[in-house]
Amino acid sequence: MSQNNFEVSNSNNDSNILSENLNKLSVWEQEMDKVEKEVDVYRLKLAQPMYANRRSILKKIPKFWYIILAENDEFSDYASPEDLKYLEFIDDIYVHYPVVDNDSGTSTNNPRDFDITISFKKSSLTEAQSVTKSFKIVVRENGEELLESLPVEVKWPQQLSKINPHLIKEKTNGGKSMTTEDKKRYRAGMKSFFSWFAWTGKKPGKEFRNGEDLANLIADDIFVNALKYYIVALSNESGEEDSEEEEDTSEGEELDLSDVEVEGKKRTLGDDIVDAPCEKKVKQSSSV
C-alpha cells in the first residue's frame, strides 16, 4: 500500500496538508474498492446455490421465461418480432459467476465475469439445445469497463434459415456475392436474438447490436428479478381477462408469491390483479 509520489509545486503549508490528505483518500479508495470486491464475491458465493435451487423449480413452471421475455419492454429491443415464437421454447435461463468456483480467490479474472446459459426444448419449431456464452469484463486504458465475449454456436430455427447470417455468408462466397436481397436478409438476421450468441464486443457495426446491453439486461435484471417480472406479467394477463371473469381470477389462490417487492412495495399476486394490471417495469433493487 504505497502512496504515489507527486511533485507538489505549491509551497504553502495548508496546500501540503491538503495534498497529503487527498493522497490518503486516494489510497483509501483503492482499499475500499477491494472491500467492495470482497463483498461482491461473498454475495455471489451465497447467491449461486440459491439460484441453482431456483433453476430446478423454474424448469417445472411452463413457459416461465417466455412469459417474462414476452412482457419485457427492454428485452423486446434486442429481439426481432420473428424471434418470439421460438423463445416460447426456452426452458432455462441461468447466470453463473465463475468466481464462486474459485476457492483460492487468486484468479486474475474479474469477479463480475459471468456465463449465461440459455436452453431450448425440443419442439416442432426448435431443436433441443443448451448454449452457454461467457462474458468477460475488460478495462480499457481510460478506465472504462466493457464486456467481451467469444462467439458460441447456436442452432437457428429451421424457419429462420433464410435470414441466418452465417448461412447467407456461406452461400455467397463469404459475403462477396451477396445480392441486394441477401443483404436485406443478412441485416434482418443480424437483428435476431439468435445472432446475439455470436456477439464479441470487438466488431461494432458488424455484429449483433448492443450485445453487451443485452447480456447485462439478462444477468443484472431479468435473471435477478425474474420472479417479480413473472408476477407482473401474470397479473397483466389476468388484468386482460378480468373483464369476463373478474371474481374468479382476483382470488389468486393457486399462487402465493407473497412478500415480493415491486417498486418498493410488497405485493402479492392478488394485489397485482386488483390494483396494478398495467405495471410492466420492475425497479431493480440497488444496494449501497
Amino acid at 63: K
Q: Which of 92, 148, 212, 220 binds a second copy (CB under 8 A)?
A: 220
Shortest distance, CB of residue 245 to a second copy, whole angstroms?
13
Shortest distance, CB of residue 218 to a second copy, whole angstroms?
12
x/- letters, 26..45, toward a second copy (CB under 8 A): x-xxxxxx-xx-xxx-xx--
Tell me how crowded residue 149 is: count the other CB atoms within 10 A of its CB. Answer: 21
Query: 121: which 3 cell numbers?
Result: 426444448
Q: Which is nearer to a second copy, 82 or 115 (CB)?
A: 115
Pick from 281, 108, 106, 133: nearest CA to 200: 133
Q: Beta-strand (E) ranges in 121-268? A: 129-139, 145-149, 260-262, 265-267
Which of 127-135, 147-155, 202-210, 279-287 is the region at the interface with a second copy (rule: CB under 8 A)?
Answer: 279-287
Pick from 63, 89, 115: nearest CA to 194: 89
> If binding is defined by CB under 8 A, does position 15 make contact with a second copy?
yes
Q: Which of 108, 256, 273, 276 binds a second copy (CB under 8 A)?
A: 256
Tell me how crowded residue 195 is: count the other CB atoms within 10 A of its CB. Answer: 25
Contact 187, 168 (CB under 8 A): no
128 to 167, contacts with a second copy by CB under 8 A?
Answer: 142-145
Q: Which of 2, 14, 173, 174 binds a second copy (CB under 8 A)?
A: 14
Q: What is the CA radius of gyration of the chain?
A: 24
Q: Which of 124, 177, 243, 287 binds a second copy (CB under 8 A)?
A: 287
How far apart CA 156 and CA 194 sit, in angstroms, is 7
Site for a second copy, rule CB under 8 A? 4, 6-10, 14-15, 17-19, 21-26, 28-33, 35-36, 38-40, 42-43, 46-47, 50, 53-54, 57-58, 60-62, 142-145, 219-221, 224, 227, 253-261, 264-267, 284-288
